[in-house]
Amino acid sequence: MKLPSINDMTEKALMAFKRFPITLSWAITGSLIFIGIVNVDANLLFDEYSGLILTFILGVSWFIGARFFIEQTKNPKKWDWLKLIILGLLVLFYSHLPDLSGYDHDPKYFVRFFLYIIAGHLFLFAAPFLLNWNSKAYWNYLKSICIAIGRSVLFSGVLFLGLVLALAAIQALFDIDIRPERYGQLFIFCLGIVNTWTYLSDFPKDVLQQATINYNKALEVFVKYILIPLMCLYIVILYAYSLKIILEWSLPKGWVSYLVTALAFLGFIIQVMVNPIQKTIKSWVINKFYPWFYILLLPLIALLFVAIFRRIADYGITENRYFVLIIAFWIFSMVLFLLLSKKKQLKVLPISLFILALLSSFGFWGAFSISKNSQVKQFQKVFEQVSVNENIASNEQYERLSSIIEYLAEGKSLTRLDDIVQLSTHEICKDTTEGSKRTYGYNAPQQLLDTLGIEIDENDQVRNSNGKSFNYFPSWDKNQTFIIDDYEYFSQIYFNDHDDYKMKIGEFDILYHQKNKVISFFSQKDSSLVHKVPISEKLLNLSKYGTNMDNVPEENLILVSENNQIEVKFIFTELGFQIINDSIQLNQARTFLFLKEK
């Protein structure tokens, strides 16, 4: 086999740039910008410039798809305006993004990004065949995409690892200090420039003329002995589960919807892989894949709809359930199309999914509008039930109200509840911590429910597995002064919900028992137990102030305990705990500890 020379590689690189000037310029420009940002401060890349990253990543697949589409038209120059439209839409996308720094951002912008990048790749998969169709050329086109991806990942990955090892060797052998940022810059260079350029360098131009099928034995074995058996295993599992729920006369679990969806996508992938040779190859398994897979899939699609509609009926629509629902309708439509259509043009699969991805990202029919409207209606329904019961809620109702408030707060739509509760939810739940960039506090659900006077029914036998949370997190600028003259030792202690805590203070060892909520003091001389301080009773007393304990009087945050050997004083500076079924779970606590011997 003849290895490519430097001249061959250079010539291919130049030809790729001439063929894809906008795409490669876009990738190179974005990569160089990000390399420069990392050189200043790598944290800025995912803080102040995260919107820029999303925009440059998004543009690559869309520009490639546009070029593939234009090349297959009769007069490519007449379609150059398509690139300008894509560029304009990318600028619009970037300008529409809010400040994404920190953690207090609306997640819908990231969801939109993933929808648009999925749509961009689906556009790429079908672009050359939007105006023309050839099943064999389409199969070769998809094969070329897979080969190009594999080759580009291999080349850029090997180059990255090689350069990283070279830098590590230089640093170790010559004692040259190499900044950690250099490795990040190398990764951006290899992924953004080398990977993209390699992907485009050997991609065939005359896609519609590539109609000769080269179906190698390895691919046949992979489909015949790996993919189809896996598909059959999923079918057996799902049919067995269907029989189980019929015998038990129960509704299916929501998780089954993901398995049916995965099975459908696996079947579509197999259909694409075997489509050009299904009728000619001597393999009973491949010959009978169509139509039997789709016939067997139809009852499972019914199971999919039952599972998703059950979740929607119980809890309303969220973005996740919205997408599962539209994918379920898409799967059902594609199965009917493949079973009933005479032409069976497989480009319908990516094109229809592309349209769904775009349409679901905006408008009153989109995922975000429908989900928020549904959750507001769910809140109103539960809130009215609780109001009729004199603001006494079951654990399930309390949890539903809390989860809806948290969902709307994350989506910056909490004010949608103002008309229902007849209060300004923004004023009640806004984060008042000085310097905080958060719109709403961490305890927004509890703040709002406490303001509304909603309490859990003490006689409710259905217990909430998460319990009720209590928190004390004062502002950082809060001044606290303590008298220390009466004590010999001072230390700060931090507890969490995972481990027992050990430390030393003066002549004593301290052990906090998470299970018993007891702080024990041992003598370092003979390891004898000197004193035990239980804290459960103190936490129960503090819970009387409500879930948001930021306004608890300072004297009530002090716990003093003594015996004939020592006296200790604890001052809680931060606190978070839950009460679950009358038991206490300490999530975290930060305390000042004062100690003196008698």
Query: Tens of pLDDT along 528-570?
Result: 889 999 888 888 888 887 777 877 888 889 999 999 999 999 9
What is the distance between the alpha carbons of residues 246 and 219, in angstroms, rounded to a whole number? 39
Residue 482 pLDDT more than 70? no
Q: Over the stretch 371-410, which tens digit does the pLDDT of each residue have?
A: 999 999 999 999 999 999 888 988 888 889 989 998 998 8
Where a domain ends, among 184, 209, 234? Answer: 209
Token output for 251:
């509704």
Q: What confidence score (pLDDT) does residue 462 get?
A: 42
Q: If residue 144 lies in a helix (H) or strand (E), which one and from where to where?
A: helix 135-174
Residue 105 pLDDT more than 80? no
User: What are residue 593's DSSP bridge partners?
Assistant: 491, 570
Token output for 576:
């978070």
Q: Verify that 313 and 221 share a domain, yes or no.
A: yes
What is the distance between the alpha carbons of residues 62 and 124, in angstroms, rounded to a whole number? 7
User: What are residue 513's DSSP bridge partners?
Assistant: 518
Domain boundaries, position 551 = 489-597
Least Cα distance to 137 among 147, 146, 150, 128 occurs for 128
**What mean pLDDT, rounded, does the chain reach?**
87
Residue 582 pLDDT more than 50? yes
Q: What confidence score (pLDDT) does residue 514 get?
A: 76
Q: What confidence score (pLDDT) does residue 119 get?
A: 97
Confidence of residue 103 (pLDDT cuts 50, 70, 90): low
Q: What is the mean pLDDT of residues 348-368?
A: 95
User: What are residue 520's DSSP bridge partners?
Assistant: 511, 532
Q: What confidence score (pLDDT) does residue 464 get?
A: 44
Q: Is residue 153 in some structural domain?
A: yes
Q: Over the stretch 24-62, which tens digit does the pLDDT of each residue have?
A: 999 999 999 999 999 888 778 777 888 899 999 999 999
What is the distance between the alpha carbons of residues 307 and 255, in angstroms, rounded to a whole number? 8
Residue 90 pLDDT more than 80? yes
What is the distance between the alpha carbons of residues 31 and 22, in angstroms, rounded to a whole number? 14
Question: Are the CB atoms for 455 and 393 separated by under 8 Å?
Answer: yes
Choose between 588 and 569: higher pLDDT: 569
Which of 105-109, 193-197, 286-290 shows the lowest per-residue confidence on average (mean pLDDT)? 105-109
Residue 426 pLDDT more than 90? no
130 phi and psi angles, rounded to 5 deg: -65, -35
Token output for 197:
């350029």
Look at the chain and report how many structural domains it folds into.
4
Q: What confidence score (pLDDT) does residue 546 get?
A: 77
Q: If residue 285 lies in a helix (H) or strand (E), which one and from where to where?
A: helix 284-287
Q: Verify that 92 and 166 share a domain, yes or no.
A: yes
Q: Is residue 1 in some structural domain?
A: no
CA distances from 213 to 144, 178, 271, 274, 277 (A): 12, 50, 16, 11, 8
HEC string for 514-544 = CCCCEEEEEECCCCCEEEEEECHHHHHHHHH
What is the distance between the alpha carbons of residues 491 and 512, in angstroms, rounded to a whole number? 14
**Number of Cα atoms under 13 Å in the Cβ half of residue 107:** 12
Question: Are the CB atoms for 196 and 20 separated by under 8 Å?
Answer: no
Q: Is residue 474 in some structural domain?
A: no
Question: Are the CB atoms for 396 and 464 separated by under 8 Å?
Answer: yes
Q: Verify that 221 and 201 share a domain, yes or no.
A: no
Q: Is residue 350 in some structural domain?
A: no
Q: Is residue 323 in some structural domain?
A: yes
Where a domain ends, among 170, 187, 209? Answer: 209
Q: Verify that 204 and 222 share a domain, yes or no.
A: no
What is the distance between the alpha carbons of residues 524 and 537, in angstroms, rounded to a whole number? 28
Q: Note the pTM of the prediction, 2 decimals.
A: 0.77
Q: Which DSSP string do the residues of 336-383 spell out, in sequence order?
A: HHHHH-SS--TTHHHHHHHHHHHHTTSSTTSHHHHHHHHHHHHHHHHH
Q: What confidence score (pLDDT) does residue 281 get?
A: 80
Where a domain ends, among 209, 237, 255? Answer: 209
Q: Verify that 446 and 515 share a domain, yes or no.
A: no
Type of residue found at 326: I
Tokens 């539960």 -> residue: 382
For 494: left if phi > 0, alpha if psi spans -120 to 50, otherwise beta; the answer is: beta
Q: Verify that 315 and 429 share a domain, yes or no.
A: no
Q: Is residue 359 in some structural domain?
A: no
Q: Verify that 123 and 74 share a domain, yes or no.
A: yes
Q: Is residue 356 in some structural domain?
A: no
Q: Verify that 130 and 194 share a domain, yes or no.
A: yes
Q: Verify that 30 and 149 share a domain, yes or no.
A: yes
Q: Verify that 35 and 159 share a domain, yes or no.
A: yes
Residue 461 pLDDT more than 50? no
Q: Is residue 481 in some structural domain?
A: no
Q: Verify that 421 and 569 share a domain, yes or no.
A: no
269-276 long-range CB contacts below 8 Å, 24 or more apart? 269/227, 270/223, 270/227, 270/228, 270/231, 271/338, 271/346, 272/139, 272/142, 272/346, 272/349, 273/219, 273/223, 273/227, 274/223, 275/135, 275/139, 275/346, 276/135, 276/136, 276/139, 276/213, 276/215
Query: Would strands 392-393 and 529-534 be described as parallel, antiparallel, or unpaired?
Result: unpaired
Q: Over the stretch 251-306, which tens digit does the pLDDT of each residue have?
A: 787 788 889 999 999 999 999 998 888 877 888 888 888 899 999 999 999 999 99
Q: Verify that 131 and 278 share a domain, yes or no.
A: no
Q: Over the stretch 7-28, which tens digit does the pLDDT of each residue have?
A: 777 888 899 999 999 999 999 9
